[in-house]
Amino acid sequence: MFNLSAWAAATKTNTTAGTQFKAALLCQAAPIDARDSGITTQLNKQKIAVKNLEKDGLINLEYRFTKPLQIANTSVSVVRYLGDSGSYFFAIAKGDMARFAKSINAKPVPAQLKETLSWGDINQYYQYTTDVTADNPYPDTILIGSDKTSKQGEFYFGCLRFDY
Protein backbone atom coordinates (compact mmCIF):
# COMPACT_ATOMS: atom_id res chain seq x y z
CA MET A 1 0.00 0.00 0.00
CA PHE A 2 1.13 3.53 -0.75
CA ASN A 3 2.04 5.27 2.50
CA LEU A 4 3.52 8.54 3.66
CA SER A 5 7.07 7.16 3.84
CA ALA A 6 6.73 5.91 0.24
CA TRP A 7 5.49 9.36 -0.75
CA ALA A 8 8.47 10.98 1.02
CA ALA A 9 10.89 8.64 -0.74
CA ALA A 10 9.29 9.38 -4.10
CA THR A 11 9.48 13.16 -3.60
CA LYS A 12 13.17 12.89 -2.65
CA THR A 13 13.83 11.28 -6.04
CA ASN A 14 11.77 13.99 -7.77
CA THR A 15 9.11 11.50 -8.83
CA THR A 16 6.01 13.51 -9.64
CA ALA A 17 2.53 12.61 -8.49
CA GLY A 18 1.64 12.11 -12.15
CA THR A 19 4.41 9.54 -12.55
CA GLN A 20 3.25 7.75 -9.40
CA PHE A 21 -0.36 7.66 -10.57
CA LYS A 22 0.68 6.37 -14.00
CA ALA A 23 2.75 3.59 -12.42
CA ALA A 24 -0.14 2.57 -10.13
CA LEU A 25 -2.66 2.63 -13.00
CA LEU A 26 -0.42 0.32 -15.04
CA CYS A 27 0.17 -2.09 -12.09
CA GLN A 28 3.82 -1.03 -11.72
CA ALA A 29 3.35 0.41 -8.21
CA ALA A 30 0.92 0.17 -5.32
CA PRO A 31 -2.26 2.26 -5.52
CA ILE A 32 -2.12 5.67 -3.91
CA ASP A 33 -4.24 5.40 -0.78
CA ALA A 34 -5.32 8.87 0.31
CA ARG A 35 -7.30 7.65 3.30
CA ASP A 36 -4.13 8.83 5.08
CA SER A 37 -4.55 12.57 5.75
CA GLY A 38 -0.82 13.17 5.23
CA ILE A 39 -1.04 11.85 1.67
CA THR A 40 -4.18 13.90 1.04
CA THR A 41 -2.35 17.04 2.21
CA GLN A 42 0.59 16.30 -0.10
CA LEU A 43 -1.71 15.66 -3.07
CA ASN A 44 -3.66 18.86 -2.41
CA LYS A 45 -0.36 20.80 -2.50
CA GLN A 46 0.13 19.40 -6.00
CA LYS A 47 -3.35 20.55 -7.04
CA ILE A 48 -4.89 17.09 -6.86
CA ALA A 49 -8.22 17.15 -5.03
CA VAL A 50 -9.14 14.04 -3.03
CA LYS A 51 -12.60 12.91 -1.97
CA ASN A 52 -13.18 9.96 0.34
CA LEU A 53 -16.64 8.74 -0.68
CA GLU A 54 -16.78 5.94 1.93
CA LYS A 55 -16.38 6.49 5.67
CA ASP A 56 -16.85 2.87 6.80
CA GLY A 57 -13.43 1.46 5.95
CA LEU A 58 -14.00 0.31 2.38
CA ILE A 59 -11.90 2.04 -0.25
CA ASN A 60 -13.84 4.54 -2.37
CA LEU A 61 -11.59 7.45 -3.27
CA GLU A 62 -11.72 9.97 -6.09
CA TYR A 63 -8.75 12.05 -7.26
CA ARG A 64 -9.29 15.08 -9.52
CA PHE A 65 -6.38 16.67 -11.37
CA THR A 66 -6.32 20.40 -12.11
CA LYS A 67 -4.01 19.65 -15.04
CA PRO A 68 -4.94 16.38 -16.80
CA LEU A 69 -2.35 13.59 -16.89
CA GLN A 70 -1.25 12.43 -20.32
CA ILE A 71 -0.83 8.65 -20.34
CA ALA A 72 -0.21 6.74 -23.59
CA ASN A 73 -2.31 8.92 -25.93
CA THR A 74 -5.07 9.54 -23.36
CA SER A 75 -6.04 12.44 -21.14
CA VAL A 76 -6.89 11.68 -17.49
CA SER A 77 -8.54 14.18 -15.14
CA VAL A 78 -10.14 11.71 -12.68
CA VAL A 79 -8.77 8.60 -11.00
CA ARG A 80 -10.85 6.35 -8.74
CA TYR A 81 -9.78 3.76 -6.20
CA LEU A 82 -12.40 1.19 -5.20
CA GLY A 83 -11.84 -1.81 -3.01
CA ASP A 84 -13.34 -4.38 -0.75
CA SER A 85 -12.26 -7.90 -1.64
CA GLY A 86 -9.69 -6.91 -4.22
CA SER A 87 -9.43 -3.45 -5.70
CA TYR A 88 -9.53 -1.47 -8.91
CA PHE A 89 -7.36 1.67 -9.18
CA PHE A 90 -8.54 3.21 -12.43
CA ALA A 91 -8.58 6.30 -14.60
CA ILE A 92 -11.50 7.78 -16.45
CA ALA A 93 -9.70 8.48 -19.71
CA LYS A 94 -10.49 10.42 -22.84
CA GLY A 95 -9.15 9.02 -26.06
CA ASP A 96 -9.38 6.01 -28.33
CA MET A 97 -9.79 2.89 -26.18
CA ALA A 98 -8.66 0.41 -28.88
CA ARG A 99 -5.59 2.52 -29.67
CA PHE A 100 -4.71 2.74 -25.97
CA ALA A 101 -5.14 -1.02 -25.51
CA LYS A 102 -2.89 -1.70 -28.50
CA SER A 103 -0.25 0.76 -27.21
CA ILE A 104 0.19 -1.28 -24.01
CA ASN A 105 -0.20 -4.67 -25.73
CA ALA A 106 -3.53 -5.45 -24.07
CA LYS A 107 -5.72 -8.09 -25.67
CA PRO A 108 -9.50 -8.53 -25.90
CA VAL A 109 -10.90 -10.40 -22.91
CA PRO A 110 -11.84 -13.92 -24.09
CA ALA A 111 -15.34 -15.20 -23.32
CA GLN A 112 -14.08 -17.68 -20.70
CA LEU A 113 -12.52 -14.84 -18.68
CA LYS A 114 -15.36 -12.29 -18.96
CA GLU A 115 -16.77 -13.12 -15.52
CA THR A 116 -13.38 -13.29 -13.77
CA LEU A 117 -11.93 -10.20 -15.40
CA SER A 118 -14.62 -7.65 -14.84
CA TRP A 119 -15.36 -4.72 -12.63
CA GLY A 120 -18.97 -3.96 -13.31
CA ASP A 121 -19.29 -4.07 -17.08
CA ILE A 122 -15.70 -2.96 -17.68
CA ASN A 123 -13.98 -5.85 -19.41
CA GLN A 124 -13.14 -5.26 -23.05
CA TYR A 125 -9.31 -5.56 -22.90
CA TYR A 126 -6.78 -6.90 -20.43
CA GLN A 127 -3.10 -7.44 -19.81
CA TYR A 128 -1.72 -9.65 -17.03
CA THR A 129 1.34 -8.14 -15.36
CA THR A 130 2.85 -11.57 -14.66
CA ASP A 131 2.14 -15.10 -15.78
CA VAL A 132 -0.78 -17.04 -14.35
CA THR A 133 0.62 -19.83 -12.16
CA ALA A 134 -0.73 -22.30 -9.61
CA ASP A 135 0.63 -20.04 -6.85
CA ASN A 136 -0.68 -16.89 -8.51
CA PRO A 137 -3.89 -17.75 -10.39
CA TYR A 138 -5.06 -14.11 -10.43
CA PRO A 139 -2.11 -11.80 -11.10
CA ASP A 140 -2.52 -8.04 -11.08
CA THR A 141 -4.25 -7.15 -14.32
CA ILE A 142 -4.59 -3.99 -16.35
CA LEU A 143 -8.28 -3.88 -17.21
CA ILE A 144 -9.66 -1.60 -19.92
CA GLY A 145 -13.24 -0.96 -20.94
CA SER A 146 -16.31 1.19 -20.87
CA ASP A 147 -19.83 0.82 -19.57
CA LYS A 148 -23.31 2.19 -20.25
CA THR A 149 -22.51 5.46 -18.47
CA SER A 150 -19.33 6.16 -20.47
CA LYS A 151 -19.47 9.20 -22.70
CA GLN A 152 -18.36 9.11 -26.34
CA GLY A 153 -14.54 8.85 -26.47
CA GLU A 154 -14.32 8.00 -22.75
CA PHE A 155 -13.22 4.72 -21.18
CA TYR A 156 -11.70 3.26 -18.04
CA PHE A 157 -8.30 1.68 -17.50
CA GLY A 158 -6.41 0.67 -14.42
CA CYS A 159 -4.99 -1.98 -12.19
CA LEU A 160 -7.29 -4.75 -10.98
CA ARG A 161 -5.88 -6.55 -7.93
CA PHE A 162 -7.37 -9.72 -6.50
CA ASP A 163 -7.45 -10.77 -2.85
CA TYR A 164 -7.23 -14.53 -2.46
Do the Cβ atoms of 126 and 106 come closer than 8 Å? yes
- In this structure, what are the phi and psi dihedrals at residue 88, rounded to the nearest 5 degrees? -135, 115
Angle at 121 between CA 118 and CA 126, to 5 degrees: 45
pLDDT of residue 163: 79
pLDDT above 90 for 36: no
Q: What pTM did the predictor assign? A: 0.86
pLDDT of residue 1: 41
Helix (H) or strand (E) holding 101: helix 97-103
Do the Cβ atoms of 123 and 117 come closer than 8 Å? yes
pLDDT of residue 119: 67
pLDDT above 60 for 128: yes
The pLDDT confidence band at residue 3, using thresholds 50, 70 and 90, is very low
Q: Count Cα neighbours of 3 within 13 Å in the Cβ-side half-sphere.
A: 2
pLDDT of residue 86: 85
